[in-house]
Structure 1
Amino acid sequence: MQKKSGLRGIHAGWYAVVCVLVLGLVALVLYGSGAYDSWRDGRSLDQACDGALAQDGLTSALGSSHLKAEDGDDGSLAGCFVKTSPGTGRAVRVTLRWSTDGAPSGSLVWYNADTLGVREQAAPLGNGWSGVVRYDGTWQIMVALDCANQKNKALVAYGDLYGASSGTALTGLGRVTTETAKKAAAQHGCQVKAGKRLTRVSTARLGEPGTAKPLGQAQGSCVALRDVPGAQSGTPEIMEYPADPDAPQTNCYLATSAKKPGYGLYAYYGAAAKDFESVGFGHPGGDYVLATAPCPRSTHEAAFALYRLYDRDTGNYPVPHYSDSFARSALKAFAEHEAEQRGCGEVRIMSAP
């Protein structure tokens, strides 16, 4: 009996050794084949942005299905950084915050360029989303989703695209940003009105050749300026985006006969209005007019601005002589039209230089 018991102990020991060797061999194979790295990268995506990262669109945005995520939190609600694995220089950063919190410093830079040509332009995201597309060397999509059950609070999401870009990549970024915002809002009990799934986000930008057209042909964001006295004489051209009552920012540019943007008109709503005001209304330098209006979607008033624009290429102002009376009448027409489209209250001119 003792002999058999001893044999069983020896066999059990060998079985244990064999199991360890097999497990080690399997682990080695998995590691060598890249399966472990793939599992680890997939897990990092699942946990990214506190589990709110929507992965639909990442492959299109980054041109690869081999991706990994890293923590990108900078003190906001959540943040994550997704890049290709191995790295190709292309990456997506997603940042989430509440509108009641201060905006990340990087996002505030967009409001400092109101006076510099068309640099502060924002195209409406469309498809029912309260969002815009912006470009300043890199592409950014911003979405602000109001919480229907939490007064004066919105979930704000930023998606930044680094590296090579295209319409396909930007559309992918749009899906990542919008769906992540929607998912994060649900996680935190914020009931939102979301738009439809994005199928196309255009890379078109104002200021490029062919983007100016006669003022009389305005149909979108500049339509209210067609009948403003004096507009045809000094700024007979316009650069505009399609009108979109859901976008948190609207802009229109009045251009000279040389197709140089002379005046920039901007409207900001909700979280965008709060951020715009937090940097001193875009740090106005030069000639400007400001206005506000109460709007139903937010307890924070909408902000409207007109700036005479500076052309950095020529070092001067395309509109050489600023007219306060024209600026006031142009902003009033623009703001009142915007307010009417959004169901806002009376527009009040705030200040003038």
Structure 2
Amino acid sequence: MKIFASRRRRLVGWSLGGILLTLYIVAQTLYSTGVYADWRDQRSLDSACGGTLAQGGLGDALNSSHVRARAADDPEYLAACLINRPDTGRHGGALQLMLRWSDQSATSEALAPFSKNANGVQGQAAPLGNGWPGFVRYDGTAEAVVALDCQNDKNRALVAYGDLIRWPEDAKTREPVLTGLGRVTTETAQKAAAKYGCRAQGGRQLTHVSLPSPTRETAPQRLTQARGSCVALRGLAGQASDAGTPGFVEYPADAHTPQVNCYLFTPAGKPGYGLYAYYGAVARDFQSLGFANRGDDSALATATCPQSDQEAVFVLYHLYDRDTDGYPVRHYSASFAKTALKAYADHEAKQRGCTNVRMVSGS
């Protein structure tokens, strides 16, 4: 009997050893073939940004089919996450997504672009399009911003920032990367709004996103040719020319984007005046600065809009040129500035169903 018991123990031991060896071989195979890494990275994506990260455009945004995510601990945001490639160190490709409510204080990072408004076209933004209330900026790196107004709370919007902090250096063209960035940001905003109880209207899937064109790549045209964001100033072509800015650079007309730009240019091809329109959450952030960037050479107006309890803000800046360390329009025309801004604000307000356009006292 003792012989049989001993034999059974040996058989059990061999069986357990065989099972452990098999498990070890399977684990090594999964690890060495990358299956485990893929599973781990997919889990990180599924849980990123509180489980709201949209993955449809990630491959294009980072120019890689292999990406991973981790939480970006920042108590100032509702959720934040960092997505990158395993080979980011060699090829770039890193994207940070941040989500916040519009009625929370904006971070210094979110407010920073407003400080560039008076410096040439550094404050420029182009609409994302396809019905999305968002825009894309470019200042060395690309950033997409989306602000979804909550239909069940007119005092609140879900704001998403997609910041391409490292461009994928192996991407051959820009547009797929930008379109991927736009998709990730817009679709993540939509998922987050649904998760957190904000009933919001988004747009259609983005298929084409372009950067705002740098001045050197966009030749200013005569103001009488304006068709997009500068169209309100076509009737002021003569006055604009007298003020030293006969040309313009504009962006596609879009009644959804929360930021609209129009720039008036000098005959030498330098931006002399910049006009901005801000709506909803972006207008709230701009106003939170207390118009700190306003001086004697700017004009301001506001309007009441139906989409949000936040009033729209319109502003004109006398632009500074850092290349020449001076103002391309040497003498600021306050009368032209008020006339131009009023025309711009009236037209913008009409496109959005806004009313009660009023110039801010002292501007």
Q: TM-score range by the shorter chain?
A: over 0.9
Structure 2: runs of 5+ lacking an equivalent = none
Structure 1: runs of 5+ lacking an equivalent = none
Task: Using the TM superposition, give the Cα deviation of residue 116 of structure 1 relative to its aligned residue in structure 2, in angstroms.
Answer: 0.5
| Residue of structure 2 equivalent to 1:89 | 92
| Residue of structure 2 equivalent to 1:222 | 230
Task: Give the 4+ runs in structure 1 shifted more than 6 A.
Answer: none
More off after superposition, 229-238 vs 135-144 = 229-238
CA deviation profile, 1:237-291 (whole Å, cap 9, x unmatched): 1111111110000010111111211100000000000111122336234510111
Q: Percent identity?
A: 55
| Residue of structure 2 equivalent to 1:36 | 36
User: What is the letter of the counterpart of residue 216 of structure 1?
Assistant: T
User: What is the letter of the counterpart of residue 134 of structure 1?
Assistant: R
| Residue of structure 1 equivalent to 2:203 | 195
Question: Aligned to 1:123, which of 117, 122, 126?
Answer: 126
Separation (CA, whole Å) in 1 of partners of 2:273 and 2:309: 29
CA deviation profile, 1:195-239 (whole Å, cap 9, x unmatched): 000001013415233341100001111111122362122211111
CA deviation profile, 1:157-189 (whole Å, cap 9, x unmatched): 011112236111111101111111111111112
Separation (CA, whole Å) in 1 of partners of 2:57 and 2:190: 14
User: What is the letter of the counterpart of residue 150 of structure 1?
Assistant: D
15 and 222 in structure 1: CA distance in 2 versus 1, 3 angstrom threshold = same
286 and 313 in structure 1: CA distance in 2 versus 1, 3 angstrom threshold = farther
Task: Using the TM superposition, give the Cα deviation of residue 5 of structure 1 relative to its aligned residue in structure 2, in angstroms.
Answer: 4.1
The number of residues matched between the two structures is 353
User: What is the letter of the counterpart of residue 230 of structure 1?
Assistant: Q
CA deviation profile, 1:33-92 (whole Å, cap 9, x unmatched): 222112111111111111111111111111111111111232201111111113232111
Superposition pairs of residues 141-160 of structure 1, within 5 angstroms: 141-160=144-163
- SS at the partner of 1:298? coil
User: What is the letter of the counterpart of residue 249 of structure 2?
Assistant: M
Task: Using the TM superposition, give the Cα deviation of residue 336 of structure 1 relative to its aligned residue in structure 2, in angstroms.
Answer: 0.7
Instruction: Compute the TM-score of the two structures, normalised by the length of structure 2.
Output: 0.93
Separation (CA, whole Å) in 2 of partners of 1:277 and 1:169: 32
| Residue of structure 1 equivalent to 2:241 | 232
Is the 1:291–1:303 Cα contact (8 Å) retained in structure 2?
A: yes
- SS at the partner of 1:30? helix
- SS at the partner of 2:216? coil
Task: Using the TM superposition, give the Cα deviation of residue 4 of structure 1 relative to its aligned residue in structure 2, in angstroms.
Answer: 3.6
User: What is the letter of the counterpart of residue 241 of structure 2?
Assistant: Q
| Residue of structure 2 equivalent to 1:101 | 104
Separation (CA, whole Å) in 1 of partners of 2:141 and 2:18: 55
Instruction: Compute the TM-score of the two structures, normalised by the length of structure 1.
Output: 0.96
Separation (CA, whole Å) in 1 of partners of 2:129 and 2:341: 24
Separation (CA, whole Å) in 2 of partners of 1:178 and 1:282: 30
